[in-house]
Amino acid sequence: MLSRRIFQQLTDSFLYGSNRLVAGRICSASKCTSCSARRQTTPNAIRHASSSSSTRWKSRQGNDFFAREARVQGLKSRAAFKLLELNEKHKLFKPGQTVVDLGFAPGSWSQVAVNRTAPNGRVVGIDLIPAQPPRGVSTIQGNFLSPTVQAEVRAYVQDPDLGRPRRQISSQQDGGFTEDDVEELERGYIDLERQAHLDAEGAVVEEATEPAETKTSIKAPSQKERDAGQGRVVDVVLSDMLMNTSGIPFKDHAGSMDLCMAALTFCFDTLRTGGHFMCKFYQGSEEKALETKLKRLFTKVHREKPDSSRSASKEAYFVALKRKEAPTREDVFR
């Protein structure tokens, strides 16, 4: 069971100030089992709220220790306790880090990440549905399975100054991000890679033309420089993404594996050496293959079912620690 200490840490009003949850505001996934309240901002949510299953759902939430505790602590959902528990065990966060939270809504993981990476951290949340960003979180609304959205997120994290103050990027559909904007951001990302490549080439040419005695003065790029040159600038990637479950186990499992693979590919592209990845998955026959891929890219991989995850739920988590530098895309995804 979760230790009293974790709750104690959360009760510190300094951490969350007066940012208390007044009314539950949660993801719109109609059968999302992780969240503590229905969103009340869309016609869809209003439709759900009037059904009798919603009444049963509300009463289950009322009896749920973690949901109650989340309300008391001003957390956006009970899901926070899963991350707190796994962070307590695996020490994912440090001050100043860049964290990408895939499937962030309603935002309790982001709240935890903001808190655990302060001061000077930055947290970028991505979700299908529009949701009010928690304080200190930048958000991008869109489907993470879309290559355009993935490119948007990659481009965003490349700029170390973006996302430190609170801001929100609207999706293209909202008329906020045009294709030109994305192209420009993406160009910035590509230019960065190109420049790193040119720098590396320049270093080689210099080495070849300089007299032998000065060769030793050429400094090999540091780990950080090598990572930055490859666009690996993120410290922690979290994915709690899950689509609306259908009740057909294999279908739900397959959908979950697609989301995990998209998140893992994103890790390959953006996670710095030594960075961590935590992702939710719906259990099933393909999870072993996912674990194998994770083991190729990370030094240590743990399979977890946190106490706050309902035992009836088929969800579980992989916590993958310390991204390795050497594996190529082919090595990992073969």
Ligand X SMILES: C[S@@+](CC[C@H](N)C(=O)[O-])C[C@H]1O[C@@H](n2cnc3c(N)ncnc32)[C@H](O)[C@@H]1O
Q: Binding of ligand X at residue 241 (CB under 6 A)?
A: yes
Note whether 37 binds ligand X by CB under 6 A: no
For position 237 contacting ligand X by CB under 6 A, the verdict is: no
Task: Give the number of residues in contact with ligand X, rule: CB under 6 A.
Answer: 28
Binding span for ligand X by CB under 6 A among 63-71, 101-109, 170-178, 323-331: 101-109
Residue among 99, 112, 154, 104 nearest 133 (CA): 104
Contact flag: residue 27 with ligand X (CB under 6 A): yes
CA dist., res. 33 & res. 26, Å (int): 11
Q: Which of 73, 77, 150, 309 binds ligand X (CB under 6 A)?
A: 77
d(CA 244, CA 255): 9
Measured CA distances, 191 to 31, 147, 183 (Å): 42, 19, 12
Comparing CB distances to ligand X, the nearer of 93 and 228 is: 93
Please report whether residue 243 would count as binding ligand X according to CB under 6 A.
yes
CA 1 to chain centre: 25
Say whether 280 is catalytic.
yes
Interface pick for ligand X out of 69, 127, 227, 286 (rule CB under 6 A)? 127
Q: How many residues does the structure list for the chain?
A: 334
Closer of 98 and 192 to ligand X (Cβ) = 98
Q: Is the dihedral of CA 86, 92, 94, 100 positive or negative?
A: negative
Q: Which residues pair with 168 in a beta bridge?
A: 139
Q: Binding to ligand X by residue 107, rule CB under 6 A? A: yes
Answer for the pair 271, 293: CB distance below 8 angstroms, yes or no: no
> What span, in angstroms and rounded, lies between the C-alpha atoms of 249 and 254?
9
260 in contact with ligand X (CB under 6 A) = no
Q: 310 and 280 in contact (C-beta within 8 Å)?
A: no
The yes or no reply on residue 236 touching ligand X (CB under 6 A) is: no
Per CB under 6 A, the list member of 242, 257, 264, 294 interacting with ligand X is 242
Q: How many CB atoms lie within 10 A of CB 46?
A: 12
Choices 26-34, 228-236, 270-278, 285-293; region in contact with ligand X by CB under 6 A: 26-34
User: What is the smallest separation between the CB atom of 205 and ligand X, expressed in angstroms?
Assistant: 44
Q: Which of 10, 29, 100, 137 binds ligand X (CB under 6 A)?
A: 29
The stretch among 105-113, 182-190, 203-211, 216-224 that binds ligand X (CB under 6 A) is: 105-113
Cα–Cα distance measured from residue 129 to residue 113, given in angstroms and rounded to the nearest whole number: 20
Options 93, 144, 268, 317; binder of ligand X; rule CB under 6 A:
144
Q: Is residue 134 a contact point for ligand X (CB under 6 A)?
A: no
Identify which range of 27-35, 66-74, 85-93, 191-199 contacts ligand X by CB under 6 A. 27-35
- Report if residue 152 touches ligand X, rule: CB under 6 A: no
Rounded alpha-carbon distances, angstroms, from residue 63 to 56, 59, 107, 108: 11, 6, 22, 20
When binding is defined by CB under 6 A, the residue of 123, 124, 128, 228 that contacts ligand X is 128
What is the smallest separation between the CB atom of 251 and ligand X, expressed in angstroms?
14
Catalytic residue among 58, 94, 219, 280: 280
Helix axes 4-11, 80-90, angle to 10 degrees: 110
- 126 touches ligand X by CB under 6 A: yes
Instruction: Tally the C-alpha atoms within 13 A of residue 274's C-alpha that lie toward its C-beta.
Output: 9
What is the C-alpha to C-alpha distance for residues 121 and 207, in angstroms, rounded to an integer? Answer: 38
- In the complex, the residues that contact ligand X under the rule CB under 6 A are 27, 29, 32, 34-35, 76-77, 79-80, 103-109, 126-129, 143-145, 240-243, 259
Catalytic residue IDs: 280
